[in-house]
Structures are given as C-alpha cells and as structure tokens.
Amino acid sequence: MGDEQDVFLSPEVPNTQLVCSENTPVDTLDGYDDDESMWGWLYPTQNISFKPLAMQKDEYTFGRSPKCDVVFNDGCVCDNLLQVISKNHFKIFKETLSGIEAIHLMDLSMNGTFVNNNKIGKGNKVILKNKDEIALANLHNKVYVFIDTSFNKHWIPPEMKEIYSVIGPLGSGAYGEVKLAQNKINEKYVAIKKIQKREGKEGKTYNEVRILQNLKHPCVVTMEDVFDTSDSLYIVMEYVSGGELAKRIREVTRLSDGEAKCIFYQLVLALQYL
C-alpha cells in the first residue's frame, strides 16, 4: 500500500492554519483542558521551534535574557530574527479591571512588538484576545498565536476531555462547527466536528456517520472516532493542514499547471471512489 499511496501525494502546500502544523513539536497536553488554573496557550508559528506554552502563572516574560520565562536563542530562532529580539522583549500577564480579569501584553522592546499587525510600542500594553497573532520587530515576524482556553473548556464532554485537548476553531457551517484538537495519548492532531442534534433530523446525522465510517481512501479525510451525547454528536476526523483549497487559490491567484493537475487528479480519484 505504501507505493500506491505515493501516487496521491501532492506538491507541498504552505500551511495556512496559524495554530500549528503537523511538524510543530509539542508537549503532551494532558490535563490542560481540565486545569482551571490554566488561562491560555501560546502556540508557535513556523518561525520558531518552540513547543506550545501552557499559561498558568500570572505573568510570563519573553526575550533573549536567561532570566526570562521564555528565552529566545539560536537553538530555536533563526539568526536574522534573533538579532532584532531584545533581552526583555515583551511580557504577558493577567490583570483585574473593575472586577473583570483580562489578559495583557506589554511591549518592553525598542524594536517593537506587534499584535495583529499593530505595533504596541515600548511601555504600552494591549488586551490579548483569542487567536491574536504576536510578531516581533516586524509585522511579518509572527512567532505566536494566543489561544484563550475559556473558549474551549466546555466545548466537549468529560469523556472526550480524557482523550483530547481542544486547541481552537477551524471552521463552522450550518450544521455545526469544527475545532482543532490533539490526542493526549499519541499527540496526533485531529479535527473534531460538533453537530447539534435537531429534532426530526437525527436520522440524517447518523447517516453521515455511517457513510464516513466506511470511507477508506488516501484522498478522502478519514473518520477516527465518534462520540454521542444527548444533545450533540462529535465526529473526530483526520486533521489535514494547509487550509481550504479555495482560500489557497485566492492567496496565490493562480496555481501552476503541475499543482492544478495533481489536485484535479486527486479530486477525480476521490469522486470515483465515492
């Protein structure tokens, strides 16, 4: 089967999902969703070779100084980026405002820290929100994506939390939403589709599950597990990095002949199988 599957492999497509790629080294996220003291994750982009940071302390400092909580050095950052990172570049901390807890990022650097392409400026701070992007010295030097765990804590039932850690949203549609998650046992990334049960529509939902369970093809996303609760159905799917094809085409304007032929060939093979 190994030789046969090589036929279906497409040219490498840059990952358009900001949260992580399949090659991102990660720690086992066991217990993160269930730990009430954890208030956020910092997920690295491909510009750095860090592992995701589970945020539980009230404050974290970032920079080249060995005294920082997260130290940037030549082992995890390319030379060009390292040269523009300050000894104390920025910090992220919790602060209570009028009884409401908020997450802040303060810029400590001369070269600047950017949040969602906006330069903060030394001594200034901004409130961090879910999926905010952090860049250093230049808006293109994105190093982290902040994930607010309050968005994911109660998205899946307890029995699923024992196996999966939810990271963040991938998409949504008329019948449900899809989030990226990680299997705590094997550290594999998966996509979990949550479908709210609708009175009179249960048959259609279960029919989708039965169809997906029987699909086994290199060009068709595989269903790995299913969880059934009183009000929702959770379908655990293979995670395919790279984003949607339509978005990829819009980003590059046009594909090369080789890329287009390969993608079209895969689509035809998948349709033929279905």
Q: Confidence class of residue 174 from pLDDT cuts 50, 70 and 90? A: low
What confidence tens digit (pLDDT) does each residue in 137-150 have? 999 999 999 988 87
Residues 50 and 4 in one domain: no
Residues 47 and 105 in one domain: yes
Residues 131 and 46 in one domain: yes
Q: Does residue 112 lie within any of the structural domains?
A: yes
- pLDDT higher than 70, residue 1: no
Residues 221 and 254 in one domain: no
What pLDDT sits at residue 35? 56
H or E stretch covering 62? strand 59-63
Q: Does residue 260 lie within any of the structural domains?
A: yes
Q: Does residue 21 lie within any of the structural domains?
A: no
- Long-range contacts, stretch 97-100, CB < 8 angstroms, 24+ apart: none
Percentage of residues in the chain having pLDDT higher than 90: 40
Domain count, the chain: 3
Q: Confidence class of residue 22 from pLDDT cuts 50, 70 and 90? A: very low
Q: Which 3 state secondary structure label does DSSP give 5?
A: helix
Lookup: tokens for 72: 């940037």
Q: Confidence class of residue 243 from pLDDT cuts 50, 70 and 90? A: confident
**Cβ pair 122, 107 in contact under 8 A:** yes
Residues annotated within the binding site for ATP are: 194
- pLDDT higher than 80, residue 261: yes
Q: Does residue 109 lie within any of the structural domains?
A: yes
Residues in contact with 180: Cβ distance below 8 Å, sequence separation at least 6, in sequence order: 17, 19, 20, 166, 167, 168, 169, 170, 189, 190, 191, 192, 239
Q: Confidence class of residue 235 from pLDDT cuts 50, 70 and 90? A: very high
What pLDDT sits at residue 98? 64
**What is this structure's pTM?**
0.56
Q: Does residue 211 lie within any of the structural domains?
A: yes
Residues 227 and 260 in one domain: no
Q: Last residue of some domain: 150, 180, 214?
A: 150
Distance CA(23)–CA(17), nearest Å, equals 13
What pLDDT sits at residue 104? 95
Q: Confidence class of residue 23 from pLDDT cuts 50, 70 and 90? A: very low
Distance CA(172)–CA(23), nearest Å, equals 25
Q: Last residue of some domain: 117, 150, 183?
A: 150
**Cβ pair 181, 165 in contact under 8 A:** yes
Q: Does residue 35 lie within any of the structural domains?
A: no
Return the CATH number at 232: 3.30.200.20
Full residue range of the structural domain in which residue 62 is found:
40-150
Lookup: tokens for 253: 């304007």
Q: Does residue 219 lie within any of the structural domains?
A: yes
Residues 81 and 112 in one domain: yes
Residue from 214, 163, 217, 174 nearest 196 by CA: 174
Residue that wins the pLDDT comparison between 21 and 229: 229
- Tell me the mean pLDDT in the region 44-69: 89
Number of neighbours of residue 192 by Cβ within 10 angstroms:
25
Q: Does residue 24 lie within any of the structural domains?
A: no
Residues 183 and 219 in one domain: yes
Distance CA(20)–CA(167), nearest Å, equals 10
Residues 145 and 156 in one domain: no
- pLDDT higher than 50, residue 28: no
Q: Last residue of some domain: 123, 150, 177?
A: 150
- Tell me the mean pLDDT in the region 258-270: 92
Residues in contact with 16: Cβ distance below 8 Å, sequence separation at least 6, in sequence order: 242, 243, 244, 247, 248, 251
What pLDDT sits at residue 168? 74
Residues annotated within the binding site are: 194
- Poorest-pLDDT segment among 22-31, 181-190, 203-212, 257-266: 22-31
- Tell me the mean pLDDT in the region 72-94: 92
Q: Confidence class of residue 115 from pLDDT cuts 50, 70 and 90? A: very high
Q: Confidence class of residue 136 from pLDDT cuts 50, 70 and 90? A: very high
**Cβ pair 174, 151 in contact under 8 A:** no
Number of neighbours of residue 73 by Cβ within 10 angstroms:
10
